[in-house]
Structure 1
C-alpha cells in the first residue's frame, strides 16, 4: 500500500447558476461586483475541499462516529479522527490533495453579472441592489483529487462527499436554488510512485545529452 496512491478524475456540469466568490482582495476591491473566482489563465475555479469535509462531518456524526466539527466557532481539528487523517489538521498534513474544479471554458464565456434587488416589505420599493458574478448553467468543469497512502474507507468517503455536493450544492445562495452541479464523470485510478521513474526513463529517451 505504501507505494500506491489514488487519483479521482472529475468532470462536472453546472445545472443552475453558481456563485463562487473571489478570494483575491485586490481584485475584489476594484469593483462593486461580487466577483467569481478566476485562475491565472482566465478560467473559473470552484473550491470543493471545505464542502467535502463539511458534508462528511455531518454524515459520520449522524452515524455516531467521533469526528471534528470544523464549522463550529473557533474549532480546531483534533488531528486524530478519520477526517483529520484524510483531510489534515493544524498538526498534521492530510492524505487528500483536493484541486479546485476549474472551468473548461474561459471566465468571459461562462460568467454573467446579475443584479439582485432587495424589495422593502413595507413600501414595496427597491431598497438596495447587489451585483454579483454567476456561473451559467451548462458550464463544464474538471478537477482531480489525489489520495496518498490510501486506506480502506477513502474511496467510500470521497464518493459520499461528492454525492452530497450534487444533492445540496456548492458556493453561495444554495438556499435560493443556486449552486447545483452534476458530476458527469468520476474515474478512480490506482497508481504507483514508481510510475514517475518509468515516465522519466521514457522522456530521457527523447533527450539528447
Structure 2
C-alpha cells in the first residue's frame, strides 16, 4: 500500500511540472541561410544587367576564365592586326629586302625567309586555334521557360556576342579533331559550342536543353 501511494505521489508531481508554465520562455531556434545565398543573388543580378538580358530570364550556366578569355581575345586581335601590318609593309617594301625581326645576341630567331614563313605560319595557327576555342566557349547561358540566351566573347575585344535559341536546338556532336573537351562539343542552330556540365546550375539543365 505504501509503495502504491508513493508511486501516485510521484506521478502527480510529474504531471504538475509538465502543466506548470516555464519560468523562462522557450528560445526560438533559427537556421542560418546558405552562406552565399545573398551573394549568389547579387551576382546573378550583376550578370543580368551586365549582359542586358530581358526580364524573366535566370542564369543556368556560368563558365570561369572570363577575364582570361578577354585577354586572349585582345592578344589574338592585336596579333592579327600586327601581322596584317607587317604583311602590308613587306609587300610594299619588297619581302626579300626586309630583315628578319627578333634578333638574339648570338643568333637570330629566323635565319632565312623559309624559317620566317614557318614561324609566321605556326604563329597564325596558334592564334586561329585560340580564336576557335574563344568563339565556341559560352560564358553564360540564361533560360526563360523554353527560350535561351548564350553569351560569348565578341569578335571585337571588350564586346559580347549573343546567341538566342530554344529548347531542342542543342545537338551533341560526336568526338573528332584535336581540340580539347571532345565530350563537351555541341551544336546550337548550327553553331559549334563547348558546354561543360560541371558549370551548369544542375546537371538536369543540360538534359532539359537537349529535349525537343
Band of TM-score, shorter chain: under 0.3
Instruction: Give the structure with higher Rg (CA).
Output: 2
TM-score after normalising by structure 2: 0.19
Flag the structure with higher helix content.
2
Scaled by the length of structure 1, the TM-score of the pair is 0.20
Higher RCO (CA < 8 A, seq sep 6+): 1
